[in-house]
Structure formats: structure tokens, C-alpha cells
Amino acid sequence: MKSVPSFTILMMLFATMSLVAQTGKSSLQKSTDEGMFTITETRYWDAARTQTGYTLFAGSGRSYLIDMEGYIVKQWNIGTNPRLLSNGNILDATKSDPSGFGGFQELDWDGNVVWTYIEKRSNYFPHHDWTRIYNKKLKAYTTIYIANKNVPKDSVLAAGANPANGTYTDVQMDALVEVDSLGNIVWEWWFFNHIIQDFDATKPNYVGTGKTVANFPNKININMPGNPLKSDWLHCNSIDYNDSLGQLVTNSVQGEFYIIDHDNTFIAGNPAGNIALAASSAGDFLYRFGDPYRYNQGTAAAINSTGNKQIGGSHDVHWIKPGLPGAGNIQIFNNGEYLGERVSQSYIFEVNPYYNSSRVNTGAYVNPPAAGYYTWTYPNKDAMKANKSISNQVVWIYASKDDQNFYSTIGGSEQRLPNGNTLICSDTHGHFFEVTAGDTTIVWEYINPVTTDGIKTVISDQYPMYNSVFRAYRYLSDNPAFKGRTLTRTKTITGKTPAYFKPSDLVTGVSSSGISVPQEFMLHQNYPNPFNPTTVVSYQLPAASHVDLRVYDVLGRGVAVLVNQDQPAGVHRVSWNATSMPSGAYVYKLTTGIFTQTRQMLLTK
């Protein structure tokens, strides 16, 4: 079934511009992306629809934990890509630059250093990301990090690299390195051990007679088209561990992410054996997503055509955690670089790697080209967007209607929240916002006031990264990290009293013909999907209509009437509890006087 682009992320901002004369709010309250003045810190808060909690982020070497209004409740003198551990400690890099640092530090709640790890090997260069996991084989916590590892020129040529593609004097490939609490290396996985090539038949990693790189989606082409070997070749920038699967995922900024096996390549008490096992075929990709052209199973991106390429300039790939809407799916920040679009923008993608071409969850990884594509037809000609192929495995997309209102050239993060909302951090402009699942309405927004030349209450037009934030995380008040601790808010970062807009401000400032009224009829994909046993269906009406919304089984028999009444224009949502229904696929159908649309949902028990 077709998916559709999400609503604009800056609906609230345009509405606030019309409020100025009526409410007396500052006329500086405008978008960072339009070259105008921007008021920093909390700018909007719909308390009834947000996932209330505390937001952690870093700016200029300091980490801040703030409440929804922007008041500081805790801060630490470290700040690159911080995250709270369950014991209340904070883990971060030793240097406030995600692109490269020597190691990591763990600070306790009071800021005391309780653990330090420094990479001492001269040919390894830690960068961007790490994850703390509980290693079930060791029965202990370990830390896995990304590090570029030098590859000598003779090794590159011996592996079948085409000499015409480069000098190969500074080649690096990313490795995933695991260390225990004593700093011992207990496991390592390296891209160089999982390469394939079709250039030199005399080399042991040659594809073989009658085969091509397309026969090996579980390996990476050392002569990758469009990306010759170089320093920081793949530029991986995020890593996540799935405890139930025992697997790791990491992404390349070039436009792919990769899932590999960790637990089945780990032997307790045998680091050398672990490294050898991870270097074997047991460590080949279990799944990859993003650009099948890289392994000759898709078309390349070109001007005005994304081809089969799905993501570019990506960051923060991770599994949605158990218990959250969409659990088990993979989220990724799709910066939108290198996609061939005439006008670039960023997206949030949610991917179900088990979907086949019928969008049925198979319970096993499906190679994305086998799952196929649908055509995303952009609804507005003035956005200057060409239609593009979207994988059937993409189950949710977030994007702004106005392309440039959400665009981070580098960095960024996204986090699914317990109420189904998603917290997004746009790195380039230090912009955090929380959007709802169905109608993707902004319900909270914050601008980082910490800039490269001090703390600012107002930011003028600046070059990217002036107030950048690599990632932002939301922690609920019942998080184990806060157990036994008093969270007392002190002041905002700027010291000013919060003065943000609320829903009542928008309602009083926007007429019935304002932009909050949808421009077209639309039935959205239910969320979550697959679901058990409750899901939410949302839809939009550009005018008052009689709405008939029903659910049918695969035989066409009606099983539920969700709506049968007159409704006003706007965005509507309804929940369906399928406790009494058997597992399987269902179809839901929206009918108005002049519009009909159907979509499919999957109940899994």
C-alpha cells in the first residue's frame, strides 16, 4: 500500500507569526532555517500531548539535563554525545568533538570520574559513537565503540582493489571494538574482513565464475561504485545493540546501515577466538538497507532521481526498544545528502526489516530489493520534488512540508517515546522537537542557546553548526537513573524566564481558514503496525464530511466500525482494540462523500 509524506514540522512556527500582533509576543519568533532571528530555549509546549520528561543534550563541552520548560535540573562538565546509564552515571567521550576523540569517561551523578578508557593503539581512531551493553557471555557490562582502522596499501591491493581508483596511501575502514571494565579488548569486528570484489579473479575474495557483487549482499564491495577507498571510507557514526537478538547495527554516512551478529561470534574468555570468528563468514552482514546500487541490486541516485537509494548522510540508527510503539523496527535519521533531490531535506525513517513485497512481517530479514518499492508522489509542485521510490520496508516517514524547514546537513537523532511520539534533534541548528505519531504535529520545540561564541537568548542567521547538538535524549521521571535522586530545577541556560507558546495561543491566533486545516483528504498508515492488540488510525479532512471508517478481514467481511458520523475539517484519530480478533492481515477503509482510500494493517499475537 502507498505511504504518504508527513505534515510540516513548522506548522506551529508559521502560526506564531500570525500571532505577533494579537498576543504581543516577540516578532523574532521565527524559523532558524529562513535566515531570520530565532528565540532560543523552549518555544512551544503542548503539555497534554507531549511525553513529559527530561531532555539530555550537550553543547560546547557541557551536558545539560533540562525539564520541558527548559529549566536545568542537572549538568556535567563533559559534553559530546552523552547518555545516562541506569545507575545514574553519565557516559561520554573525552573530547567534545564527535568526529574524533581518544576514548571515553564515565562520571557519577556528582561529576566524579569513575571509569576512563583511552585507545592506546596507534592505528585505531575512535569516533562518533559507542554503546554500553550487558554481555551475557561475560555476565558483565562492556562498551562497544566505532574506530577507524588503518589498512596498509599492500593489504588493499592484495584484497582486489583496482589500482586505477586511487593511491591507497591513507585507507581506513571502520571497526567495532568491545572493551570490558578493565579496558581489555574482548571482541572486534572489521569491515575489511567482509569485502568482496569482481575486479581481480586471482584474489581469494573474488566473486567467482558466473557471479557478480550482486550475489553477495552480505559483504561489501571494495571497489564500491561512487566511493573509492580513502581515509574514513565509510564514516560510520552510530551503533546500537539489540539484547534479545544479540546483534549490532551500524550505519555509514554514505547511505547504508548494516546488521551483524555479535553474540554468536563471541566466546567467553577467548578474545583472539572472538576476533577470528567475527572476521569469518559468521560475521558477514545479516541485513543491509539504504542503497542497493552499492551491491548491484538497484539503480543509482542521479539529479532529480533518487534511484533506489533510500538514505544519505544518515545518523543515529537504532532499534526501537521493547515496550515502545514500533518495538523491533529500526529508526534512522536520514539527513538527505547525496539523494539526487533538486531541493534537499532531512527525514526520519522507520524500517521493518522483516517486511516482504506484500508488507507482511516474515519474522526473518528480507533483502530490501526483494521487498520492492512504491512510488512516493510528492503532493505539492512548489516543493520542487520529483517522485521517488520508497522501500516497502519503510513503515513511517517524518518530513517537513516546506523542504528547508527540517534539514540538517550532518548529525541528528530521533527517539521513539512511550506515548508513540518521536523526539527529533536537528544537529545543524541545535533544534529539538517532539512530533506525534499519527498527524506528526509538533507538541514541543526547543532551540539550543549554547553557541560557538557564548550563550544566546536570540540567534541571528548563522552558518551551520553555530549552536549544533549531535543528539538529544528524553528520559522519563521513572527512569532507573533517577532512583533516589532529587531533581530540582534551577534556572534556564540563558537565565531568562521561559516564555513559550501554548496550544491556546495558536487557537486564538489562527482563523478557521488557517494552515492548520489539511489541504487534502488522506488516510494514514495505522500506528503501530504490526500491532498487538491496539493500534491508532489517523486521517485528515480538508472540509467537513460524513466519515465512514471500517475494518475488514482478508475475505472482505466487516469486523469493526470505527467511525460513522459527520466530522469537521481537521486531523482525526481513532483507536482500535483487536483483542477479540485473530492474528492476521486486515484492511481498513475510509469513505467520505467524494473520497475513498484503503490501507492494510497486521495484527500479531
3-state helix, strand, coil in the chain (%, to 5): 10, 35, 50
Residue 573 has pLDDT above 90, yes or no: no
What does the mean pLDDT of the chain come to? 89
Query: Which letter does DSSP use for residue 497 in this model?
Result: P
Whether the pTM exceeds 0.85: the reply is no
Residue 246 has pLDDT above 60, yes or no: yes
Burial class for 566, CB neighbours closer than 10 Å (0-12, 13-18, 19+):
exposed
Residue 136 has pLDDT above 90, yes or no: yes
Distance (Å, whole) CA 254 – CA 5? 23
**101-115, 377-391, 437-451: which has the minimum mean pLDDT?**
377-391
| Confidence (pLDDT) at 568 | 81
With cut-offs at 50, 70 and 90, classify the pLDDT of residue 30. very low
SS3 528: coil
Burial class for 177, CB neighbours closer than 10 Å (0-12, 13-18, 19+):
buried
Question: Which among 23-37, 213-227, 335-349, 564-578 has the top mean pLDDT?
Answer: 213-227
Distance (Å, whole) CA 307 – CA 353? 20
Distance (Å, whole) CA 434 – CA 336? 20
Beta strands 373-376; 388-391: pairing state: antiparallel
Residue 33 has pLDDT above 60, yes or no: no
| Confidence (pLDDT) at 392 | 95
377-386: per-residue pLDDT in tens? 877 888 888 8
Alpha-carbon separation of residue 536 from 349, 405, 483 (angstroms): 19, 27, 33
525-563: per-residue pLDDT in tens? 887 788 888 888 888 888 889 999 999 999 999 999 999
| Confidence (pLDDT) at 382 | 81
| Confidence (pLDDT) at 506 | 66
With cut-offs at 50, 70 and 90, classify the pLDDT of residue 438. confident
Query: Which letter does DSSP use for residue 402 in this model?
Result: S
**16-30, 175-189, 328-342: which has the minimum mean pLDDT?**
16-30
Burial class for 65, CB neighbours closer than 10 Å (0-12, 13-18, 19+):
buried
Residue 18 has pLDDT above 50, yes or no: no
- Domains in the chain (CATH in brackets) are 522-603 (2.60.40.1930)
| Confidence (pLDDT) at 513 | 28
Residues whose CB falls within 8 Å of the CB of residue 389, separated by 6 or more in sequence, listed in order: 306, 307, 308, 373, 374, 375, 376
Distance (Å, whole) CA 379 – CA 129? 37
Beta strands 90-93; 83-84: pairing state: antiparallel
With cut-offs at 50, 70 and 90, classify the pLDDT of residue 8. very low
| Confidence (pLDDT) at 35 | 55
With cut-offs at 50, 70 and 90, classify the pLDDT of residue 7. very low
Which grid cell sits at 62?
557541557
Burial class for 170, CB neighbours closer than 10 Å (0-12, 13-18, 19+):
middle
| Confidence (pLDDT) at 428 | 95
Among left, alpha and beta (phi > 0; psi -120 to 50; other), residue 368 is alpha
Q: Are 484 and 551 contacting, i.e. CB atoms less than 8 angstroms apart?
A: no
Which grid cell sits at 25?
509576543
Residue 141 has pLDDT above 50, yes or no: yes
Average pLDDT over residues 461-482: 95
With cut-offs at 50, 70 and 90, classify the pLDDT of residue 270. very high
| Confidence (pLDDT) at 440 | 84
Question: What percentage of the chain exceeds 70 in pLDDT?
Answer: 92
Q: How many whole angstroms from its chain centre is CA 249?
A: 12
Q: Are 334 and 348 contacting, i.e. CB atoms less than 8 angstroms apart?
A: yes
| Confidence (pLDDT) at 13 | 33
Question: Hey, how many other C-beta atoms are within 10 angstroms of the C-beta on 128?
Answer: 27
| Confidence (pLDDT) at 23 | 30
Residues whose CB falls within 8 Å of the CB of residue 540, separated by 6 or more in sequence, listed in order: 439, 518, 520, 521, 522, 524, 570, 571, 572
Burial class for 405, CB neighbours closer than 10 Å (0-12, 13-18, 19+):
buried
Question: Hey, how many other C-beta atoms are within 10 angstroms of the C-beta on 10?
Answer: 24
Distance (Å, whole) CA 43 – CA 32? 12
Strand ranges inside 95-206, DSSP E: 103-107, 113-118, 124-135, 140-150, 172-179, 185-190, 195-196
Average pLDDT over residues 95-121: 93
Distance (Å, whole) CA 316 – CA 416? 12
Distance (Å, whole) CA 37 – CA 26? 10
| Confidence (pLDDT) at 6 | 37
- DSSP output for 227-245: --S-TTSS-EEEEEEETTT
Distance (Å, whole) CA 278 – CA 177? 11
